[in-house]
Amino acid sequence: MLQAQDVSVTRGGRRVLSDVSLALQAGEVLGVLGPNGAGKSSLLGVLNGELAASSGEVLLDARPLANWPGRPRAQRLAVLPQSSSLNFGFSVEQVVRMGRMPHDTGMAADEQIVARVLRAVDAEHLSGRSYLQLSGGERQRVHLARVLAQLWPGADGQVLLLDEPTSMLDPLHQLSVLDAVRRFADQGASVLIILHDLNLAARYCDQLLLLGNGGVQASGTPAQVLQPEPLHRVFGVDVLVQPHPERGHPLIIAR
């Protein structure tokens, strides 16, 4: 399990996160919401060890994340940053196969995993193409396939961190990608995902963390967090919240 305990972050002399605590549970998707500049990406940076916390600590299985050697940590923890880019003409399969580098499972097994994760994110038809010939949305799906391949097929004790994985996708692929993430969590992995779309968060997340002004403004289930008062306080918008007519999760409608 990945935990953050009273984590604070200061960047450029400014406090961007204050006393944030969370615990990722096996088989659950935790969504992180908040306006631009709320500290979402800084939180993800601390959770993956890329950014040092000013105070507090991050633990993986009750052991400080900084104390994990690189390879064992990569077998347990994968991250998709907000922007991923490559400037070489690798094939799609070669990019996805990079996710298998922490493992010694052999070429045949790795090729099977690459095919499965491409299918999972609806990118199987991109096989054989050069990464440089892909659209922005296609590249985003290939990079998601890469981080899924790093932990595939997902299990209790593995952690996937995703920073806005749907930002460049059309509505159909937003749903197909989040369906893949949901299925991955259902295998037992813990998932943290940063989202801007409140309705996607309501549909796919088990728990939500609402950030604003560098701190946690609300946390709990989608029904607890996605309420008019905290959403107005954090985003400055007036909304109606109603049960989805078919699925029952909160449906957020701007007034």
Give residue 217's pLDDT: 96
Q: What pLDDT was estimated at residue 231?
A: 96
pLDDT of residue 21: 95
Contact 209, 39 (CB under 8 A): no
Report the run of H or E that residue 203 belongs to, with start and end.
helix 198-204
The confidence score (pLDDT) of residue 152 equals 94
**pLDDT at position 144, please?**
96
Structural domain boundaries in the chain: 2-254
Arithmetic mean of pLDDT, 248-254: 94
Task: Report the b/e string of 57-72 with b at 16+ CB within 10 A.
Answer: ebebeeeebeebeeee
The pLDDT of residue 20 is above 90: yes
Q: If you average pLDDT over residues 68-73, what whole number do you get?
A: 94
Mean pLDDT, residues 64-80 taken together: 95
Would you state the pLDDT for residue 12? 82
Cα 59 to Cα 105: distance, rounded to the nearest angstrom:
27
Does 83 have pLDDT greater than 80? no
User: Has residue 77 got a pLDDT over 90?
Assistant: yes
Q: 25 Cβ partners below 8 Å, 6+ apart?
A: 1, 190, 206, 207
| CATH placement of domain 2-254 | 3.40.50.300
Would the pTM of this model clear 0.85, i.e. be above it?
yes
Distance CA 17, CA 163 (A): 17
State how far the Cα of 19 lies from the Cα of 209, in Å rounded to an integer. 13
Helix (H, G, I), strand (E, B) or coil at 144: helix
* Coil, strand or helix at 111: helix
Strand partners, 192: 30, 161
Between CA 99 and CA 74 the distance in angstroms is 9
Give me 191's structure tokens: 């998932």
**pLDDT in the model for residue 85:** 72
Write the pLDDT tens digit of every residue in 119-170: 999 999 999 999 999 999 999 999 999 999 999 999 999 999 999 999 999 9
Q: Which residue has the tokens 């990406």?
A: 41
Q: How would residue 211 be classed by pLDDT, with cut points 50, 70 and 90?
A: very high
Q: Is the pLDDT of residue 68 over 80?
A: yes
Tokens of 75: 């077998």
pLDDT 10s digits, 226-242 = 999 999 999 999 999 99
pLDDT > 90 in the chain, percent: 89
Mean of per-residue pLDDT scores for the chain: 94
103 has a pLDDT exceeding 90: yes
In this structure, how many other beta carbons lie within 10 angstroms of the beta carbon of residue 97? 19
Taking phi over 0 as left and psi of -120 to 50 as alpha, with beta for the rest, 190 belongs to beta
